[in-house]
């Protein structure tokens, strides 16, 4: 997938979350990327974010690609198991 397309997709995600306060927005973007993108796509985006020039990336994307706060595993947050939500809640969500 082209860098241009990756950047475009990442920017669109960032635009959605930009309505939120910065800390939440960064977490939102990071969580979304980890929930839905393949590791390869995330790695490629990481490379783009590290570049000073090249594809224009939304600031939130750059920040989301930075190191996560200690102990924060984005994957764990996207996944609330059935036991945390109650019996009926289960995996319909």
The site for other proteins (CB under 8 A) is made up of 1-2, 5, 9, 12-13, 15-16, 18-20, 32, 34-41, 75-76, 78-82, 85-93
Least spacing, CB of residue 76 vs other proteins, in Å: 8
Task: Please state the closest distance from residue 90 (CB atom) to other proteins, in A.
Answer: 4
Give exposure, 16-40, as e/b (b: 16+ Cβ within 10 Å). Answer: ebeeeeeeebbbbbbbbbbeebeee
Virtual torsion, Cα 42, 43, 46, 47, nearest 10 deg = -140
Q: Nearest approach, Cβ of 45 to other proteins (angstroms)? A: 13
Residue with smaller CB distance to other proteins, 51 or 80? 80
């Amino acid at each position: 997938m082209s860098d241009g397309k990756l950047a475009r997709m990442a920017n669109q995600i960032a635009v959605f979350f930009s309505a939120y306060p910065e800390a939440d927005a960064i977490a939102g973007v990071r969580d979304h990327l980890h929930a839905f993108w393949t590791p390869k796509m995330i790695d490629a985006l990481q490379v783009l974010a590290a570049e000073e020039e090249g594809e224009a990336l939304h600031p939130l994307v750059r920040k989301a690609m930075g190191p996560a706060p200690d102990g924060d595993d984005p994957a764990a947050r996207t996944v609330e198991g059935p036991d945390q939500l109650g019996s009926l809640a289960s995996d319909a969500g």
